[in-house]
Each structure stands twice: as structure tokens, then as C-alpha cells.
């Protein structure tokens, strides 16, 4: 693969699924795996087989049915985990065992009660065993970003020596920053003598809202695999969002000259399926897939959009497979947008009638948050029922009154 190609490792079905409120039944995991396959990701992490018999079964079903991508699953550095993982990916066209152990002193002392030497030995033994089961083995140094760098380099070099093919350096607790991440990957790749034999991977969490920024910085530091999830779901504040990473690489290829294999038109269908299966919606202002990601209520923005959508949109909803109904009517909307929506509903409004309907809508907009098509029909019906004869109509622009709100061509709303 070209040196600028970034492998997308989707962990929606593992890190995402293990977050509170996101658990899925095996049949649901299989259904979502089909859609994630349609997205074109390179690797699907299907689960953590030792966690439950159902999850082991789900991984095995996905490995049996989904043939194109690599199917990975997670295992601690324990023989029982590794055996279960090997069983689960056995039917895969290409199966990967992903084994991990924490390398930070905090995790070693408090959680694992192990010395660094014991940690190193467990990592090496596990990777060696995993390589006897499959030739695709990923090793993750959990809490890598808070680990002693000398020890981390020693672990990474040692597991590469016994056959690890991908080295993942997770920011398990979402602690790092973009500049630190780039430097971290640069340094480790430079210091580990056999680093050219493997693909480096990043896995970032969003505790400080930096997961995507850190993932992109890792790519700039030499990572060529990025771990991420649909809608950014995952432990605590979640993982890096697949759709944000992919669309940043797409839209800003001038600054980030890297490619992925993701079919962007499948992004929104994947997001929607995940929402339906878990019952957990995405925040309305979520980048790329949120309900408001391509919606405009402010009059100044709507006016710009009606003239040329590039004024307020850097990407097209259709490129990510999302519906495009950009003009949301609310109290910040202007007459242009109201006129356009009415026309879409079959009502040609001009002059006084448009003014009347516009005033009617604005008078109820405060209570509505968003004006619906039914609100519009009701207001038009009322306006037409009481509409004075044309020669009686008063042009509000000729007789401005303090009692009436001024009507602006493009409405109110934020211009910046
Ligand atoms: Mn994680």
C-alpha cells in the first residue's frame, strides 16, 4: 500500500459496544458489521470473546460471514483469552488477534500488581502464542501515552521481535494533546530499531474532546492505522469518530495528504443504523452526522445558502449519504427562506401575503423551536381566510410601526 494510505480500524463493535447503554445482541452486531463492511473499513474489531459466550459467538459469526475486511478481536495477555480469540476468528478469511497489556506504572502497580519485567514477559509470551494462531497479530500498550517512554520502547521492540505486525499506542484515558501525540509517534518510531517492520496505530479517547485531533496528529507522526468508531461511541466520552477523521482527510487533503478506503456515502446509513439498534441518538450538533450538521436557520445563512450552498457548507450532505433539507425555519429565519419553503409546499406567496404569513410564523416561532410544515400550512390557511382585498392591503415598509417587528430581507441570526 502507498505510504500515505491510512488503514481504518473500526472498533464500534468492541470499544463502542462496551460503553454503557450500547450493548448489542449477536444478531444486531452481525447486522451492523455488514454495514461497517459496506463502509469499506480495512479492519473490523468485532468483540472481546472472553468477555461473554455471546460475544465470542458474535465474533465467530462475523468472521464466518464478513469476508472482505480483516476481522479482529481483543484478548488480554492471558492464555484463556488468547485461546478464545483464536477460536472466534478461526473461520475468518483474514483474522487478527489483538492482544494488549497496560504499560504505565500506574496501571502496573495499582491494577495489574505486576512489575515491568513481568509485564514485558507477558507481552512477549502472548504475542508469540498469538502468532502461532494467526500471522496477523496486533499488540496494544494500554495507557501508552502515560507510560515511561524507555520501557514502552523496550516492550514495542520486544513484541515486534516475536512477530507482532501492528503496534497500537492508545491514549486510553484521553489525556494527550495533538503536538504531544505527533512527537510521541515520531520519537517511538525513531527509537525502536525494528519499527520499520510494523504498522503503527493510534487509538484515542475523547475525554478532553481531542480524540480526532490527536488521531490526525498521530497520522502526521507516522501512524498508518487509525482506530475509531461510528458516531464516536466508546468508553466514557467515546473514541475518535470515524466520520470526522475520514471527512477531515477528504476535505483537507491539501493539509493532510492521506487516503482511506472508506466509502463516504455509507457514513450516514451506518450512523443511522447504530442509532436505531442502540436507541442512543447522536447530539444534534454532532459533526458530519448530527441532525443540524447540514441545517441552517439563521436568515443570513439561509440567504447565502439559497444563493450558493458553498457560502456556509464545506462538504455536501449527499457525499456522506445524509438527507439534505438545509433550510430549517425558526425565529431567526428570513422571508426568502419562508417563501422558498412555502413554494416547496405548493403555495406561491408574494407581496402582502408573504408578509402576512411571515409575521404569522414569527409570532409562533418562539414557542415552537422549529417550525414544521404543518405550522406553515396552518398560518397560510389563517392568512388566506382573513386576507383583506388587495387594494386595502397596507405595505408595512411604507408605514413602519414600533408595534410591529421590522422585517429584514434575510432575517436575523448570527453572521459569523
Ligand atoms: Mn479504548
Bridge-based pairing state of the strands 199-204 and 43-47: unpaired
Residues 6+ apart with CB under 8 A from 403: none
Q: Which cell is 200 given?
A: 503503527
**In order of start, what are the domains of the chain with their CATH numbers?**
7-278 (3.20.20.70), 294-416 (no CATH)
Q: Calculate how far, in angstroms, residue 112's C-alpha sits from the geometric centre of ligand 1.
A: 17
Q: Calculate how far, in angstroms, residue 416's C-alpha sits from the geometric centre of ligand 1.
A: 36
Q: Calculate how far, in angstroms, residue 378's C-alpha sits from the geometric centre of ligand 1.
A: 50
pTM for this predicted structure: 0.88
**SS3 state at 296:** strand
For helices 79-89 and 53-65, give the axis angle rounded to 10 degrees: 30
**SS3 state at 295:** coil
Q: Calculate how far, in angstroms, residue 25's C-alpha sits from the geometric centre of ligand 1.
A: 20
Q: Calculate how far, in angstroms, residue 144's C-alpha sits from the geometric centre of ligand 1.
A: 12
Q: Calculate how far, in angstroms, residue 151's C-alpha sits from the geometric centre of ligand 1.
A: 21
Could you tell me if 10 and 226 are in contact, meaning their C-beta atoms sit under 8 angstroms apart?
Answer: no
Phi, psi at 79, each rounded to 5°: -60, -45
Q: Calculate how far, in angstroms, residue 358's C-alpha sits from the geometric centre of ligand 1.
A: 50
Question: Residue for cell digits 492508545?
Answer: 170
Q: Calculate how far, in angstroms, residue 205's C-alpha sits from the geometric centre of ligand 1.
A: 7
Q: Calculate how far, in angstroms, residue 17's C-alpha sits from the geometric centre of ligand 1.
A: 11
Could you tell me if 230 and 10 are in contact, meaning their C-beta atoms sit under 8 angstroms apart?
Answer: yes
Closest CA to 42 of 67, 66, 15, 9: 9
| Length, in residues, of the chain | 416
In whole angstroms, what is the distance from residue 288 CA to residue 240 CA? 13
Cα 201 to its chain centre, rounded Å, is 17
Phi, psi at 175, each rounded to 5°: -105, -25
DSSP per-residue codes, 259-306? B----GGGHHHHHHHHHHHH--PPPTT-TTTSTTTT-B-SHHHHHHHH
pLDDT in tens, the chain (416 residues): 669 999 999 999 999 999 999 999 999 999 999 999 999 999 999 999 999 999 999 999 999 999 999 999 999 999 999 999 999 999 999 999 999 999 999 999 999 999 999 999 999 999 999 999 999 999 999 999 999 999 999 999 999 999 999 999 999 999 999 999 999 999 999 999 999 999 999 999 999 999 999 999 999 999 999 999 999 999 999 999 999 999 999 999 999 999 999 999 999 999 999 999 999 999 999 999 999 999 998 989 988 988 999 999 999 999 999 988 778 899 999 999 999 999 999 999 999 999 999 999 999 998 888 898 999 999 999 998 875 555 444 444 443 343 444 445 555 555 56
Q: Is 65 exposed, middle or buried (0-12, 13-18, 19+ CB in 10 A)?
A: middle
Cα 256 to its chain centre, rounded Å, is 18
Q: Calculate how far, in angstroms, residue 172's C-alpha sits from the geometric centre of ligand 1.
A: 5
Bridge-based pairing state of the strands 43-47 and 7-10: parallel
Q: Which cell is 115 given?
A: 512489575
Tell me the residues surrounding ligand 1 (ion) with CB < 5 Å: 15
In whole angstroms, what is the distance from residue 50 CA to residue 43 CA? 20
Q: Calculate how far, in angstroms, residue 138's C-alpha sits from the geometric centre of ligand 1.
A: 14
Q: Calculate how far, in angstroms, residue 379's C-alpha sits from the geometric centre of ligand 1.
A: 51
Q: Calculate how far, in angstroms, residue 200's C-alpha sits from the geometric centre of ligand 1.
A: 16
Amino acid at each position: 500500500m502507498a505510504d500515505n494510505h491510512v488503514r481504518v480500524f473500526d472498533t464500534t463493535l468492541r470499544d463502542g459496544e462496551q460503553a454503557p447503554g450500547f450493548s448489542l445482541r449477536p444478531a444486531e452486531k452481525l447486522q451492523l458489521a455488514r454495514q461497517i463492511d459496506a463502509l469499506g473499513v480495512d479492519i473490523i474489531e468485532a468483540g472481546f470473546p472472553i468477555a461473554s459466550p455471546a460475544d465470542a459467538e458474535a465474533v465467530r459469526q462475523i468472521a464466518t460471514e464478513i469476508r472482505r475486511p480483516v476481522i479482529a478481536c481483543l484478548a488480554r495477555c492471558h492464555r484463556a483469552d488468547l485461546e478464545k480469540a483464536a477460536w472466534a476468528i478461526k473461520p475468518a478469511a483474514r483474522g487478527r488477534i489483538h492482544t494488549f497489556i497496560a504499560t504505565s506504572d500506574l496501571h502496573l502497580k495499582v491494577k495489574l500488581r505486576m512489575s515491568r519485567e513481568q509485564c514485558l514477559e507477558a507481552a512477549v509470551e502472548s504475542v508469540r502464542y498469538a502468532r502461532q494462531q494467526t500471522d496477523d497479530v496486533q499488540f496494544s500498550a494500554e495507557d501508552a501515552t502515560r507510560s515511561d517512554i524507555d520501557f514502552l520502547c523496550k516492550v514495542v521492540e520486544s513484541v515486534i521481535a516475536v512477530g507482532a505486525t501492528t503496534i497500537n499506542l492508545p491514549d486510553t484515558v484521553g489525556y494527550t494533546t495533538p503536538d504531544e501525540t505527533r512527537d510521541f509517534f515520531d520519537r517511538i518510531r525513531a527509537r525502536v530499531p525494528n519499527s520499520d517492520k510494523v504498522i503503527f496505530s493510534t487509538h484515542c479517547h475523547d475525554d478532553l474532546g481531542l480524540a480526532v485531533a490527536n488521531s490526525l496528529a498521530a497520522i502526521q507522526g507516522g501512524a498508518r492505522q487509525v482506530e475509531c468508531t461510528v458516531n464516536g461511541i466508546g468508553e466514557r466520552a467515546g473514541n475518535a469518530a470515524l466520520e470526522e477523521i475520514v471527512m477531515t482527510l477528504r476535505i483537507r487533503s491539501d493539509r493532510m495528504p492521506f487516503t482511506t478506503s472508506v466509502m463516504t456515502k455509507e457514513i450516514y446509513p451506518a450512523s443511522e443504523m447504530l442509532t436505531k439498534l442502540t436507541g442512543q441518538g447522536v447530539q444534534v450538533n454532532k459533526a458530519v452526522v448530527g441532525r443540524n450538521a447540514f441545517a441552517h436557520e439563521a436568515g443570513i445563512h439561509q440567504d447565502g445558502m439559497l444563493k450558493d450552498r458553498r457560502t456556509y457548507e464545506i462538504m455536501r450532505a449527499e457525499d456522506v449519504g445524509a438527507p439534505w433539507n438545509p433550510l430549517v425555519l425558526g425565529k431567526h429565519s428570513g422571508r426568502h427562506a419562508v417563501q422558498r419553503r412555502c413554494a416547496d409546499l405548493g403555495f406561491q406567496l408574494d407581496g402582502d401575503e408573504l408578509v402576512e404569513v411571515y409575521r404569522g410564523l414569527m409570532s409562533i416561532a418562539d414557542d415552537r423551536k422549529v417550525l414544521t410544515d404543518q405550522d406553515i400550512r396552518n398560518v397560510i390557511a389563517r392568512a388566506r381566510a382573513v386576507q383583506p382585498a388587495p387594494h386595502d392591503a397596507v405595505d408595512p415598509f411604507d408605514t413602519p410601526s414600533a408595534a410591529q417587528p421590522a422585517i429584514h430581507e434575510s432575517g436575523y441570526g448570527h453572521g459569523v
